[in-house]
Amino acid sequence: MGDNRPMSFPRQQARTRRFTLGVPKAFGISPDGRRIAFLRSRHGTDGAACLWLLDLDTGRERLIADPRAVGAGEEEDLPPEERARRERLRESGGGIVAYSVDDAFTRAVFTLSGRLYYADLAGDEPGPFPLPATGAVVDPRICPRGENVAYVSGGALRAVSIASGDDRVLAEPDAPGVTWGLADFIAAEEMGRYRGMWWAPDGGSLLAARVDESAVARWHIADPASPEAAPQTIAYPAAGTDNADVRLAVLPLDGSGGPQWLDWDRQALPYLVQAGWTTGPDGTPTVLFTAQNRAQSELTVFSADPATGLTGPVRTERDDVWVEIMPGVPGFTSGGEQVWIGRTAGGERRLVIGGRPVGPGDLYVRGVSDIDGERVLFTASRPSRPGRVELWIADAAGGSAGPVEPPGGGGGGVDSGRLRGGTLVVQRRALDAEGVRTLVVTDAHTETRAKAVEVASLAESPELPVPAPRLWRAGERSVPSALLLPSWFDPDGEHAGRRLPVLVDPYGGPHAQRVLEARGAYLTSQWFAEQGFAVLVADGRGTPGVGVEWEQAIRGDLAGPVLDDQVAAVHDAAERYGFLDLDRVGVRGWSFGGYLAALAVLRRPDVFHAAVAGAPVIDWRLYDTHYTERYLGLPDEEAEAYRASSLLDDAAGLERPLMLIHGLADDNVVFAHSQRLSSALLAAGRPHTVLPLSGITHMPTEEATAENLLLLQVDFLKSSLGGF
């Protein structure tokens, strides 16, 4: 029975970086659709990703670049800017973590330990070959013609010629706190923009972001385990404080003249959301960028003349609550029609092509993945299946849209993909299959059932019973919910009459969905179930997948609706499954889930009897501008909303066991959150547990730490709630 529960899973999950190592990722497709580039490590515990090329004509995979072949492995000596960039991306692997290719798909560039390399994608000797660069290299981007590589080093934007090795400065910091060519903290952490430079279509100039952080408050993150080391100083724009000042300029590659600044009302629209280039019907290159106001009620697309810097609005989206930043837009079809995702009056977000809504009106559109000629690949969910994420292809010419069902499709799951040159790459995660399956389909269209080439995943198989979540919609608000039980638990046989303690395991907040039709979403929850818990996962209001009103229901109150829906899910689960013990209910979570866990045990001790809160936000005044102000407004104007969503005033009422876990090196949710709550609890004489993690950032990846965190949580919960 319980004595045979597997105990090797925590170590395996840590060693495999949550079973992501060995999974192919970061796909690029040649213009003719016949060659596919991707990253994948050599096996399921290898943290150094290699660059591979799949030739569809021969069916052969070719290794293009192996980090170990050039003396670089998983352990890298990275410049601080690259470490920060990877932290924003939540990139836990090493080796080649990103690459850039030219338009013809003949060359790729990447970095290893801050050194610059390029590889030949078309020849027989791919390399990789080193390129001379000045200083440590961050985020290299090859020009469309494959001749030059732009990169950032020491805050300066530089370019190096592949043929000659000539290296030149295009722009360098002109004041303290200034960098060129990189995304600012808010853009990378909250807006999904991870880059700050974009080549012109002819490769003759670069559009670049100048970021001035001089007005941003400086925070200092120290490591108590190394008192001799100076604290790390970061520019952190907390709610209500100054953001970085971000400008755009076009920089000529040949150095002729100075930067051509692009002007827009940056006072009214200070957030640079996205930027890039497009080509008009006459072949003239035009800059396209998107800016948002601080209240996030308005999002405007601008076009700009790169020669004069003159800008004009192309499209404006407004919403009284907030305008969501949607992935993959704006874009254009080959016929010049704009691709957008906009909200209809009082309705859901729609895919819009050339001003025409496309697809069913009740479809939950998640983002545009690619535009291939007149076809638009996008992701969406149907109203009855928020946990199923489908790929859809819209035909701009015909105005139709339909779901993609690749060969061997099955009954749904969570799909993502790329589309170029008529070739579709689909990655599917499903409940009835392990891990990630990757299929490459040529001549893709909405009804295709042609044979596909599979790109092998080398990921390890979890040493864990297969998760079998029971999925349903809970309570009056139909909260998407999942219940996982121990594989050894037989409520109708051997264990009839026995009741299981309940562990609520949510994220529960914006931009993260836990109840998905994918086995991998439930691995950690299933492991906790194997320890003797009935594990409940619920996506309440604020989470994606259900609808716009569902997401926006938390405006002005990050605590009430979120907590109410977790309580409703607990009670509904108990009504459905009589073997749940509501006298023993624990809750655990990380980041927003950590906030929710602490919130639950502080405000509803009648429902929740113990909590583990990892990296929790405690006081929203200490979190960043763009995220926090979207939901709570400005602190000086919405003081009551901040007070009601903070947990500091609740400390004196703690009457249940609470464990706080927090990385001391966390630069996203800083340790001050847990420290201030702990101080308030101590001042009120309330016992609690604090587990500080020296040298650990927001997401622990160090193997021993990641493993033992799970084991310590189980011990704490069992001691607080009792076991099976």
How do residues 681-695 score in pLDDT, each as one tens digit?
999 999 999 999 998
Tell me how far apart the alpha carbons of residues 617 and 510 are, in angstroms, rounded to a whole number: 13
- Which DSSP string do the residues of 161-223 spell out, in sequence order? ETTT--EEEEE---STTEEESS--HHHHHHSS----EEE-TTSSEEEEEEEE-TTSPEEEE--
What is the pLDDT at residue 3? Answer: 44
Mean predicted confidence (pLDDT) in 6-27: 90
Which segment of 345-349, 369-373, 550-554, 621-625 scores lowest on mean pLDDT? 345-349
What is the pLDDT at residue 258? Answer: 87
Tell me how far apart the alpha carbons of residues 589 and 538 are, in angstroms, rounded to a whole number: 12
- Asked if 721 and 534 touch (Cβ cutoff 8 Å), the reply is no
Report the side by side order of strands in the sheet with 148-153. Answer: 138-142, 148-153, 156-161, 167-171
Tell me how far apart the alpha carbons of residues 467 and 465 are, in angstroms, rounded to a whole number: 6
What is the pLDDT at residue 54? Answer: 97
What is the pLDDT at residue 123? Answer: 81
Mean predicted confidence (pLDDT) in 47-72: 92
What is the pLDDT at residue 437? Answer: 95
Report the side by side order of strands in the sheet with 349-353. Answer: 331-332, 338-343, 349-353, 356-358
**Could you tell me which residue, 346 or 354, shows the higher pLDDT?**
354
What is the pLDDT at residue 445? Answer: 52
CA 172 to chain centre: 30
What is the pLDDT at residue 409? Answer: 61
What is the pLDDT at residue 81? Answer: 83
What is the pLDDT at residue 90? Answer: 79
What is the pLDDT at residue 407? Answer: 66
What is the pLDDT at residue 351? Answer: 96
Per-residue model confidence as pLDDT tens digits over 382-438 = 999 999 999 999 999 888 899 998 666 666 799 999 999 999 999 999 999 999 999
pLDDT at position 722 over 90: no
pLDDT at position 714 over 90: yes
pLDDT at position 278 over 60: yes
- Asked if 521 and 512 touch (Cβ cutoff 8 Å), the reply is no
- What DSSP designation does 475 have? T
Going by pLDDT thresholds of 50, 70 and 90, the confidence category of residue 7 is very low
Tell me how far apart the alpha carbons of residues 335 and 351 are, in angstroms, rounded to a whole number: 17
Which segment of 106-110, 254-258, 532-536, 668-672 scores lowest on mean pLDDT? 254-258
Q: Spell out the domains of the chain, with CATH numbers in brackets.
A: 27-401 (2.140.10.30), 470-721 (3.40.50.1820)
- Asked if 417 and 372 touch (Cβ cutoff 8 Å), the reply is no
Per-residue model confidence as pLDDT tens digits over 184-242 = 999 999 999 999 999 999 999 999 999 999 999 999 999 888 899 999 999 999 999 99
Mean predicted confidence (pLDDT) in 466-473: 97
Mean predicted confidence (pLDDT) in 477-492: 96
What is the pLDDT at residue 236? Answer: 97
Tell me how far apart the alpha carbons of residues 274 and 685 are, in angstroms, rounded to a whole number: 49
Per-residue model confidence as pLDDT tens digits over 284-324 = 899 999 999 999 999 999 999 999 999 999 999 999 999 99
What is the pLDDT at residue 621? Answer: 98
pLDDT at position 545 over 60: yes
Going by pLDDT thresholds of 50, 70 and 90, the confidence category of residue 490 is very high
> What is the chain's alpha carbon radius of gyration, rounded to the nearest angstrom?
25
Q: Name, of 64-73, 221-230, 250-259, 535-544, the range with top average pLDDT.
A: 535-544
Per-residue model confidence as pLDDT tens digits over 72-111 = 655 567 788 887 888 877 777 889 999 999 999 999 999 9
Distances (CA, A) of 355 to 322, 338, 527, 564: 21, 7, 48, 39
- Asked if 155 and 593 touch (Cβ cutoff 8 Å), the reply is no
Dihedrals φ, ψ of 498, to 5°? -85, 150
What is the pLDDT at residue 6? Answer: 45
The token pair that represents 403 in the structure block: 């779901």
- Asked if 660 and 598 touch (Cβ cutoff 8 Å), the reply is yes
Q: How does the average pLDDT of the chain come out, rounded?
A: 93
What is the pLDDT at residue 160? Answer: 97
Which segment of 559-573, 648-662, 688-702 scores lowest on mean pLDDT? 688-702
Tell me how far apart the alpha carbons of residues 498 and 180 are, in angstroms, rounded to a whole number: 63
Tell me how far apart the alpha carbons of residues 149 and 159 are, in angstroms, rounded to a whole number: 5
What is the pLDDT at residue 346? Answer: 72
Report the side by side order of strands in the sheet with 129-130. Answer: 100-101, 107-112, 115-120, 129-130
